[in-house]
Amino acid sequence: MGRYRFVDGVRAEFTAEEEIARDAEEAAWVAGAVDRAAAEVQSNRRTAYQSEADHLYLEEERGEIPAGTWLSKVNEIKTRYPKSE
């Protein structure tokens, strides 16, 4: 049993051409999984850096917090949102 779609409320089997097109579309989606995952990690890191780490850099530069606090937070964020190999 192949894939199907509904046309005017009636179930219709995919044609051979539709099956080929659908397979190509699915392959493209699967192939893009790595890129989508990398983009999600980058977005998550960016958000975390902005909300959790950026202000620490300036505070550290002004001597308001101990040296290494900012880098420690950056490394924590990188651990939380690791890049896939």
Q: Which residues contact 44 (CB under 8 A, 6 or more apart)?
A: 80, 81
Look up the pTM and report it: 0.69
CA angle at residue 80 from 72 to 41, to 5 degrees? 115
Alpha helices by DSSP H, the chain: 16-31, 33-48, 54-61, 69-80
Measured CA to CA, the distance from residue 40 to residue 35 in angstroms comes to: 9
> pLDDT class for 4, splitting at 50, 70, 90?
confident
User: What is the domain partition of the chain in residue ranges?
Assistant: 1-31, 34-85
pLDDT digits (tens, 9 = 90+) for 10-68: 898 888 898 899 999 999 999 999 999 999 999 999 999 999 999 999 999 999 999 99
Q: What does the block give as tokens for 30?
A: 């699967």
